[in-house]
């Protein structure tokens, strides 16, 4: 049994590492492969436990480091011994990035989904069939948002991310889009580069938090279909919410965006990550309020497509998610009679 779990951990770590490494050689499919790289770790955690997920994370990190070194090693060795040493360090950097941004956080998030305790005062008999109290989904979402923001902020700090530091390089990257050869000395291009660099932290916070939540959900779905999910499947659209501390942190993050330097960038990352929870609540409102509508699949499909393609619907969904705290549209829908039902006389 132990040997089989080790083999499963190694297989899951290998799968996660290959998906993570796909951004190097996957071409147009590299980014989608990167986005599903947390999924094998979620499957390990839901199906075989936290220890299997941690084992897969460590194995995946080692494989990522070896793959990066194998990809860049021949070029570096042909250049100089110093370059070869730099490649080994480069492999270590990507291994740490895999652990920090993908594997370890996903293992922890899945562990929280499965975290449970015996409800105080429960008898555990037929009169009390639900003696187990599971870690609430709203708190899971809050932890995912805060944890993802924290890992991104830490990664930015370790990499020395700074708007002023990277503005000249970004200006040169943006120069071909405007038909100019080099834009380092162009004040307008430098200003555009600074705006772009300032916009990246909240974008990464929003995007990677969404990636982690979707992979967490996909892992739970697969584990449920295979009969390995220990937690009973809830009505997710009704269950998810933002805990009150999340509102406080989100408001503080919005205010902190105006701060200069690293504090403003960190606040923007945190605000982007927490906004994903409100967007998810907005989608949950659409799911619940459309349950009696015959055109529900079409409406939801259009809503998801428009949200992916355009920015404004995402802001509207976030506003719906914030307002849901006070409007309670899902509760009102659940208490209302089904469409077509006749009122009792």
pLDDT attached to residue 18:
93
In this structure, the answer to whether residues 152 and 61 fall within a common structural domain is: no
Per-residue pLDDT of the chain (345 residues; tens, 9 = 90+): 567 889 999 999 999 999 998 877 666 678 889 999 999 999 999 999 999 999 999 999 999 999 888 876 554 444 444 444 455 577 888 999 999 999 999 999 999 999 998 877 655 555 555 678 999 999 999 999 999 999 999 999 988 888 877 777 777 666 666 555 555 556 777 777 788 888 899 999 999 999 999 999 999 999 999 999 999 999 999 999 999 999 999 999 999 999 988 999 999 999 999 999 999 999 999 999 999 899 999 999 999 999 999 889 999 999 999 999 999 999 999 888 776 555 443
Last residue of a domain, one of 84, 114, 144: 114
344 falls within a domain: no
What domain count does the chain have? 2
Task: Note whether 17 and 33 are within 8 A (CB).
Answer: no
Instruction: Note whether 275 and 139 are same-domain residues.
Output: yes
Does residue 280 sit in the same domain as residue 207?
A: yes
Domain contains 35: yes
Q: What are the pLDDT digits (tens) for 318-341?
A: 999 999 999 999 999 988 877 655
Same domain, 11 and 96: yes
**Residues 258, 300: one domain?**
yes
- Does 110 share its domain with 137? no
**For residue 277, is it within any domain?**
yes
For residue 217, what pLDDT is reported?
97
Residue-number span of the structural domain to which 253 is assigned: 129-158+199-335
Residue 120 falls inside a structural domain: no
CA-only gyration radius of the chain, Å: 23
Let me know: does 99 contact 61? Beta carbons within 8 Å: yes
Structure confidence at residue 78 (pLDDT): 45
Regarding whether 308 and 214 lie in a shared domain, the answer is: yes
pLDDT digits over 213-251, tens only? Answer: 999 999 999 999 999 999 999 999 999 999 999 999 999
Cα–Cα distance list, 191 to 50, 163, 186, 304 (Å): 46, 10, 9, 34
* pLDDT value of residue 345: 36
Q: Say if 11 falls within a structural domain.
A: yes
If we measure between CA atoms, which residue out of 191, 170, 283 comes closest to residue 237?
283
Say what the pTM is: 0.89
Q: What is the 3-state secondary structure (H, E, C) of the chain?
A: CHHHHHHHHHHHHHHHHHHHHHHHHCHHHHHHHHHCCCHHHHHHHHHHCHHHHHHHHHHHHHHHHHHHHHHHHHHHHHHCHHHHHHHHHHHHHHHHHHHHHHHHHHHHHHHHHCCEEECCCCCCCCCCCCCEEECCHHHHHHHHHHHHHHHHHHHHHHHCCCHHHHHHHHHHHHHHHHCCCCCCCCHHHHHHHHHHHHHHHHHHHHHHHHHHHHHHHHHHHHHHHCCCCCCCCCCHHHHCCCCHHHHHHHHHHHHHCCCCHHHHHHHHHHHHHHHHHHHHHHHHHHHHHCCCCCCHHHHHHHHHHHHHHCCHHHHHHHHHHHHHHHHCHHHHHHHCCCCCCCCCC
């Amino acid at each position: 049994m132990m040997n089989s779990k080790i083999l499963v951990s190694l297989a899951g770590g290998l799968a996660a590492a290959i998906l993570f490494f796909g951004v190097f050689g996957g071409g147009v499919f590299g980014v989608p492969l990167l986005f599903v790289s947390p999924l094998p770790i979620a499957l390990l955690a839901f199906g075989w436990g936290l220890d299997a997920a941690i084992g897969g994370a460590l194995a995946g990190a080692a494989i990522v480091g070896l793959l990066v070194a194998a990809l860049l090693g021949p070029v570096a060795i042909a250049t100089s011994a110093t370059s070869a040493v730099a490649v080994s360090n480069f492999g270590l950097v990507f291994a740490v990035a895999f652990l920090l941004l993908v594997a370890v956080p996903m293992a922890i998030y899945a562990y929280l989904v499965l975290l449970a305790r015996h409800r105080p005062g429960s008898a555990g008999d037929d009169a009390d069939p639900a003696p187990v109290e599971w870690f609430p989904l709203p708190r899971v979402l809050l932890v995912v948002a805060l944890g993802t923001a924290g890992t991104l902020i830490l990664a930015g700090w370790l990499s020395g991310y700074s708007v002023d530091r990277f503005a000249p390089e970004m200006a040169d990257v943006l120069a071909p889009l405007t038909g100019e050869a080099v834009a380092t000395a162009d004040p307008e291009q430098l200003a555009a580069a600074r705006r772009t660099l300032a916009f990246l932290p909240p974008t990464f916070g929003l995007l990677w938090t969404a990636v982690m939540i979707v992979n967490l959900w996909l892992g739970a779905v697969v584990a449920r279909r295979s009969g390995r999910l220990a937690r009973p499947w809830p009505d997710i659209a009704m269950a998810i919410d933002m805990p009150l501390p999340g509102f406080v942190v989100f408001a503080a993050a919005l205010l902190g965006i105006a701060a200069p330097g690293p504090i403003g960038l960190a606040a923007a990352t945190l605000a982007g990550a927490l906004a994903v929870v409100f967007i998810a609540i907005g989608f949950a409102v659409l799911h619940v309020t459309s349950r009696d509508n015959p055109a529900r699949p079409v409406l939801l499909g259009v809503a998801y497509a428009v949200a992916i393609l355009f920015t404004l619907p995402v802001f509207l969904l976030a506003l719906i998610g914030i307002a849901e705290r006070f409007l309670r549209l899902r509760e009102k829908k659940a208490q209302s009679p089904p469409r077509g039902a006749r009122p009792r006389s």
